Amino acid sequence: MNRRRPIHRLAPVLLTLLMLTFASCREQPMGKRTLYAQRSSGVVLVRNNYYYSASVGGFTFYFTGLDSVGRPLRLTDSPASLRGHERRLWATGFFVSRDGYILTDRALARPALTRAQLRRSSGQILAAAAQYFSSLSELALRSNDQEDYERYEVAAGVMSDADSTQLQVAVVSDLAVACKGSHSGDPSAFLKCEMARVSGLDDVDLAVLQLRSKRTPKRHYAFGFDVGAKGRRTLLETLFKRIGRDNASRRLVAGMRVYTLGYDTVRAGRPLPDVLKPAITSGELTAAPEDGRLRYNIPSTDGASGSPVINRFGEVVGLNIVRHAAGKTVVYGIDGDVIKQFLAIDDN
């Protein structure tokens, strides 16, 4: 007659099996090469061809930017005449969903003139517009075009009488992105985008673009932010995930190893490389996050602004920002918690 073995005699065996299972679920951090191999496909080069649209009293004119003393460049009343003369900015972005959403640097995706710039330059912008419309009225008069003459005369008068509070300036952008491995000489390499969302906070330079196709290309990674997935895991799966999770290695403290994935080699005024590939650069946090910012010792160029800052598990912990002030280059990261608030990602 067979007897069942007492449960207490099986306990050590069951405990050993359980410990081995948990150990096998323990997360392992990735090295630099593995991170690049698994994450770099989700990083894109952002191209912004842009100019400015200004309106006063029902009249609209356009310009490409301001010179060193605040005068508008290439001022015109026809945006078609600016084709091929737009200004261009480069940045990095990265996919954050399978719906073609791309997170990037707001200042490069929407390079709006600041309030301070407009205060300093509004008088010169209006004066240049008045002079421009006055010259058009003279040409119309010489051509015996009475209708255009009257219209341009009114426009010139409106510009002359207007003040800075009546001047409305907006940026007009033609946004496109190219994925890793694209050939820069291929006209189809750059995929058209639309601006989907822009942060309204002055100190949060975040923007979201979306591909017009509304689909992230196949085999291109969409970055995660280490958040839960409600209703998609069983209780046991959640338990294993939490037990196997290496929380200690995720703490954002001084000395923590972090990486950026960005297009450091792409710079304004220089030709693009034949094949577009982001670079991975490593460094360490120099301090714990403070006021929504990360500090680290990773060198960056303008082309890498907007790149993801990732930990050794390939999760986004920040977004790289590159700025120039007083002849110096300032590099910092927008903290991942700020990004999650902007994207309205739930941690639970």
CATH of the domain at 296: 2.40.10.10
Residue range 96-101: mean pLDDT, rounded: 95
Question: What pLDDT is attached to residue 3?
Answer: 57
| Mean pLDDT (the chain, rounded) | 88
So what's the pLDDT on residue 167?
A: 96
- The torsion angle over the Cα atoms of residues 17, 19, 21 and 22, rounded to 10 degrees, is 160
Our CA angle for 281, 310, 111, nearest 5°, is 80
201 near 106, Cβ under 8 Å? Answer: no
Could you tell me the pLDDT band of residue 161, with boundaries at 50, 70 and 90? very high
- Inform me whether the pLDDT recorded for 229 exceeds 60: no
Pairing of strands 87-95, 43-56: antiparallel
The pLDDT assigned to 265 comes to 80
Phi, psi dihedrals of residue 215, rounded to the nearest 5°: -140, 130
The tokens describing 15, both together, are 């405990």
Does the pLDDT of residue 137 top 70, yes or no?
yes
Residue 325 pLDDT: 80
Q: Which residue has the higher pLDDT, 241 or 114?
A: 114
Distances (CA, A) of 91 to 46, 58, 62, 303, 321: 5, 34, 24, 5, 10
Q: Give per-residue pLDDT as tens, 293-335.
A: 999 999 888 899 999 999 999 999 999 999 988 888 999 999 9
Tell me, yes or no, whether 296 lies in a domain.
Answer: yes
Nearest residue to 64 via CA among 41, 46, 88:
88
pLDDT at 243: 56
Distances (CA, A) of 154 to 56, 142, 160, 167, 318: 12, 17, 10, 16, 51
- Give the CA count within 13 Å in the CB-facing half-sphere of 38: 14
The values of phi and psi at residue 146, to 5°, are -65, -40
Q: Is 253 a domain residue?
A: yes
Mean pLDDT, to the nearest integer, of 142-158?
96
pLDDT score of 232: 42
Q: What is the mean pLDDT of residues 141-149?
A: 95
- Whether 274 is covered by a domain: the verdict is yes
Which H/E stretch holds residue 131? helix 115-142
Most confident of 9-23, 133-147, 321-335: 133-147
The mean pLDDT value for 25-40 works out to 88
Does residue 63 form part of some domain? no
Nearest CA-CA partner of 54 in 174, 173, 170:
170
What does the pLDDT look like over 271-285, one tens digit per residue? 899 999 999 999 999
Range of the domain at 270: 30-42+224-343
- Residue 75's identity, in one-letter code, is L
Q: Is residue 244 part of a domain?
A: yes
pLDDT band at 233 (very low <50, low <70, confident <90, very high): very low
Residue 210 covered by a domain: no
Rounded to 10 deg, the angle between the 146-161 and 115-142 helix axes is: 150
The answer to whether position 18 is within a domain reads: no
Kindly indicate the confidence band of residue 7, based on its pLDDT and cuts at 50, 70 and 90: low
Q: State the total domains in the chain.
A: 1
Q: Look at residue 322 in the predicted model and tell me its pLDDT.
A: 95
Q: Is the pLDDT of residue 4 over 60?
A: no
Higher-pLDDT residue of 236 and 318 is 318
| Tens-place pLDDT, residues 46-66 | 999 999 999 999 999 999 999
SS3 content of the chain, % helix, strand, coil (to 5): 30, 30, 40
pLDDT at site 28: 83
Does residue 324 belong to any structural domain of this protein?
A: yes
Burial class (CB in 10 A: 0-12, 13-18, 19+), 106: buried
From the list 245, 315, 235, the residue with the least C-alpha distance to 26 is 245
Q: What is the Cα–Cα distance from 264 to 278, expressed in whole angstroms?
A: 7
